[in-house]
Amino acid sequence: MSDDPSDEQPDGTEHELEQNVGQRFGRLPETAAERTVEGRVSRAEVLEFFADRFAVPPATFDDYSFWEKGAGKIWLYSGEATSPLEIEAIGMTCLRTRQEHWKPTTDFVQRFGHHASECVIDLDREQARRFAAGEDQALAWDGDWGYLIAAHTVAGEREPLGVGLYVHGELRSMVPKGRQRNL
């Protein structure tokens, strides 16, 4: 039994939560109150995070389901599936939870980042080149610190590049090694 008060049901009674099974996909509960797996975030919390941090409208994800596989790795999927499910992958990884600062993935940000209007840092082409190569760079930014969506302009429109971590006047590229390119 956990001491975490969030494990309490709305009627105040505690109940036994299942342990997360890392090997399989489990669909996120709609809300924290419907949680049956210890530590698993809810769909509502995921939507709230994208809305609060990046101003992505929750309706963006109306046709998608969210799943956890592994410890805190959240996947986004638009197809049909039943939970739990033991297969290699569904849709794409979108967010890392079960840590203090939730971190969106590069691929998710490239796919859905155009819905964001806050915590987006616009880079010029040379800065974008360094970001795509995985380099850290000193940059001015007067918004929140933490994970930002880095973007540049492609064909006249803002295009998300990936996730950067902004701290102490520096933007650190979070583009995974396998996705880094020298452009």
The stretch among 10-18, 35-43, 51-59, 152-160 that binds other proteins (CB under 8 A) is 152-160
From the CB of 152, what's the least distance to other proteins, in Å? 9
**110 makes contact with other proteins (CB under 8 A):** yes
**85 or 139: whose CB is closer to other proteins?**
85
| Element containing residue 104 per DSSP (H, E) | strand 103-104
From the CB of 157, what's the least distance to other proteins, in Å? 8
**182 makes contact with other proteins (CB under 8 A):** yes
Please give the Cα distance from 19 to 37 (Å, whole number). Answer: 6
**159 makes contact with other proteins (CB under 8 A):** yes
Residue whose tokens read 């760079």: 137
**96 makes contact with other proteins (CB under 8 A):** no
121, 171 in Cβ contact below 8 A?
A: yes
Is residue 116 classed exposed, middle or buried when 0-12, 13-18 and 19+ CB atoms within 10 A define those classes? Answer: buried
**32 or 130: whose CB is closer to other proteins?**
130
Q: Under rule CB under 8 A, which residues in 125-144 are in contact with other proteins?
A: 132
Best CA proximity match to 69, nearest among 18, 112, 111, 27: 27
Which residues does 118 contact at the CB level (< 8 Å), separation at least 6?
A: 53, 54, 55, 143
Return residues touching other proteins (CB under 8 A): 63-64, 76-82, 85-93, 105, 107, 110-111, 132, 154-157, 159, 161, 178-179, 181-183
